[in-house]
């Protein structure tokens, strides 16, 4: 399937032989070198869009083991793909051909949680939800939350510079991650760990590993600043009649909720219909063209609740919001979040989904959805949009029964051209991965892509790290 959809040629890499496997077994314990049938799950991505044919999965536990593995692979020119929780949505976490998978799942130790500074040091394979549970014990929270939290790794989050539901409050990982330790393609360990928010000692090399999707090195450890956990969380879920009102309600929320605003999401009617139907969730509101979720996180519940209730009343008085509910009951908040977080999973259950994750100016944020709906007509079952409107990030989805070349040619490169004309980003938060290298030029200048390539050559001259991903092929 992969080869039909994405014609790529296998690079000039070594083919794994018995001596290679024996070498890996000498670096790791034998049971941490997986071969045969058991490698299946590591070869296919979350949305089932890329299927590799790797026969070897390695599970290191220490930085030194990662270093030994890469040193050997580099000397033999064996291609590798780093894999975290394998929840990435751009086909970056699985092999395209027979690359060796380096699974970070056993590198899951939390080294230190400093409750005074809020700085947490851990290995990169800690599952986000587990990290959150651990830091909560010290009254801290991870400055990142996303629907895949039960499986994704903090190292995968760093490698994709994941955004998520609370970016509007805590900013992105370039700010929160204070340092990383990474292993380069030749096995060299780069200690770029730092315990300070303020550390202006020359070039900030850590940024090269945040969002480079395993193409420049394998992140083995990181230090992340975790803010104090909120004492009070409140949620408003509202129904809105049109997109202009979505925008004006967002503006009102920023003005009235100010520093306690921690999430602003938008969901269109069809997207909400998917999660409520497929996951059997009862929405507290009747049907509206748009829905919004506003979350506040603060330190005084009475104060926050009053602010959120006043905001909702004002929004309704101004006829911006047609109906809405405010709650701080955990079961009700969970249901509201589930309606948002389970849309991706629901779409996947309903058929094949072309998924786009784009940044667009808010003035044009939603218009691509009806434009695309008209363009694909009856060929698609559903064209819908939802996302982090507070961060100008739209998740655009085209659902059909199965992969369909006709629809594919109607949506790509159209979506990227459309985005580029509006000076948007062809990848807001999911990354470039395997799906989008050929569209990178829609968001990056030739000079910027050239410099990316020079850095790749410097750091991974044999191009063994995650080949076919992120950078466009040289002849493009």
By CB under 6 A, name the binding residues for ligand FAD: 46, 81-89, 92-93, 104, 124, 146-148, 152-153, 155-157, 159-160, 162-164, 213-214, 218-219, 344-345, 429-430, 433, 466
Q: How far is the CB of 287 from ligand FAD (least distance, A)?
A: 24
- Distance, in Å, from the CA atom of 29 to the CA atom of 418, rounded to the nearest integer, reads 51
Q: How far is the CB of 129 from ligand FAD (least distance, A)?
A: 12
H helices of 28-172, in order, are 63-76, 128-136, 154-160, 167-170
Q: How far is the CB of 389 from ligand FAD (least distance, A)?
A: 13
Q: Residue 194: what are its φ and ψ, rounded to 5°?
A: -150, 145
Tokens of 461: 């001259």
| Residue at token pair 């784009």 | 358
> Treating both helix axes as pointing N-terminal to C-terminal, what angle do 63-76 and 18-27 enclose, rounded to 10 degrees?
160
Residue closer to ligand FAD, measured from CB, 232 or 350: 350
Residue closer to ligand FAD, measured from CB, 164 or 315: 164
Residue closer to ligand FAD, measured from CB, 240 or 432: 432
Q: How far is the CB of 469 from ligand FAD (least distance, A)?
A: 6
Tokens of 371: 């434009």
Q: How far is the CB of 72 from ligand FAD (least distance, A)?
A: 18
3-state DSSP assignment of residue 385: strand
**Start-to-end C-alpha separation, the chain:** 23
Residue closer to ligand FAD, measured from CB, 47 or 315: 47
CA 85 to chain centre: 11
The answer to whether the CB of 141 falls within 8 A of the CB of 224 is: no
Q: How far is the CB of 22 from ligand FAD (least distance, A)?
A: 25
Q: Residue 447: what are its φ and ψ, rounded to 5°?
A: -65, -40
DSSP letter, residue 464: -
> Treating both helix axes as pointing N-terminal to C-terminal, what angle do 243-257 and 301-317 enclose, rounded to 10 degrees?
140
CA 438 to chain centre: 20
Q: How far is the CB of 346 from ligand FAD (least distance, A)?
A: 10
Residue closer to ligand FAD, measured from CB, 344 or 464: 344
Q: How far is the CB of 318 from ligand FAD (least distance, A)?
A: 30
Report the residue number whose CB is nearest to ligand FAD.
Answer: 156
Residue closer to ligand FAD, measured from CB, 157 or 283: 157
Q: How far is the CB of 433 from ligand FAD (least distance, A)?
A: 6
Residue closer to ligand FAD, measured from CB, 83 or 296: 83
- Distance, in Å, from the CA atom of 115 to the CA atom of 138, rounded to the nearest integer, reads 6
Q: How far is the CB of 263 from ligand FAD (least distance, A)?
A: 11
What residues are paired with 399 via a beta bridge?
353, 382
The CA-atom distances, in angstroms, between 368 and each of 88, 189, 362, 375 are: 24, 45, 12, 10
Residue closer to ligand FAD, measured from CB, 46 or 97: 46
Tokens of 240: 């809105």
H or E stretch at 323: strand 323-327
Residue closer to ligand FAD, measured from CB, 221 or 307: 221
DSSP letter, residue 153: B
The CA-atom distances, in angstroms, between 218 and each of 16, 83, 111, 128, 350 are: 20, 9, 18, 18, 35
Residue closer to ligand FAD, measured from CB, 92 or 118: 92
Q: Find all residues with CB under 8 Å of 476, minimum gap 6, and list them.
A: 438, 441
């Amino acid at each position: 399937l992969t080869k039909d959809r994405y014609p790529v040629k296998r690079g000039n890499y070594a083919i794994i032989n018995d001596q290679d496997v024996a070498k890996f077994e000498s670096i790791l314990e034998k049971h941490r070198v997986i071969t045969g049938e058991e490698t299946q799950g590591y070869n296919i991505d979350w949305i089932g869009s890329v299927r590799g044919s790797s026969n070897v999965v390695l599970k290191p536990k220490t930085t030194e083991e990662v270093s030994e593995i890469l040193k050997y692979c580099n000397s033999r020119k064996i291609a590798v793909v780093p894999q975290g929780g394998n929840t990435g949505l751009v086909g970056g976490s699985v092999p395209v051909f027979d690359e060796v998978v380096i699974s970070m799942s056993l590198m899951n130790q939390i080294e230190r949680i400093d409750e005074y500074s809020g700085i947490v040091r851990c290995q990169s394979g800690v599952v986000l939800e587990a990290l959150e549970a651990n830091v909560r014990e010290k009254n801290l929270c991870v400055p990142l939350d996303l629907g895949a939290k039960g499986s994704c790794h903090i190292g995968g989050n760093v490698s994709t510079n994941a955004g998520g539901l609370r970016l509007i409050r805590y900013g992105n990982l370039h700010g929160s991650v204070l340092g990383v330790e990474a292993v380069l393609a030749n096995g060299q360990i780069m200690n770029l760990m730092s315990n300070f928010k303020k550390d202006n000692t020359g070039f900030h090399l850590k940024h090269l590993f945040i969002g480079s999707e395993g193409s420049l090195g394998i992140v083995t450890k990181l230090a992340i600043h975790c803010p104090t956990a909120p004492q009070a969380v409140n949620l408003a879920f509202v129904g809105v009649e049109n997109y202009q009102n979505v925008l004006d309600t967002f503006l009102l929320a920023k003005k009235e909720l100010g520093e306690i605003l921690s999430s602003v999401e938008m969901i269109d009617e069809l997207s909400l219909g998917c999660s409520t139907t497929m996951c059997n969730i009862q929405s507290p509101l009747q049907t509206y063209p748009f829905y919004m979720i506003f979350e506040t996180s603060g330190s005084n519940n009475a104060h926050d609740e009053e602010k959120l209730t006043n905001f909702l009343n004002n929004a309704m008085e101004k006829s911006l919001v047609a109906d809405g509910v405010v709650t701080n009951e955990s079961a009700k908040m969970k249901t509201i979040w589930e309606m948002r977080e389970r849309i991706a999973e629901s779409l996947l259950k309903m058929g094949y989904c072309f998924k786009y994750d784009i940044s667009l100016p808010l003035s044009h944020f939603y218009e691509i959805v009806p434009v695309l709906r008209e363009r694909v007509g009856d060929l698609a079952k559903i064209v819908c949009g939802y996302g982090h409107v507070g961060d100008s990030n739209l998740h655009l989805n085209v659902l059909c029964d199965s992969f369909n070349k006709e629809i594919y040619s109607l949506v790509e490169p159209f979506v990227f051209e459309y985005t580029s004309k509006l000076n948007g980003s062809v990848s807001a938060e999911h990354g470039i991965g395997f799906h989008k290298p050929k569209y990178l030029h829609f968001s990056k200048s030739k000079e910027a892509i050239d410099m990316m390539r020079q850095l790749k050559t410097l750091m991974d001259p044999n191009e063994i790290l995650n080949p076919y991903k992120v950078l466009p092929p040289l002849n493009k």
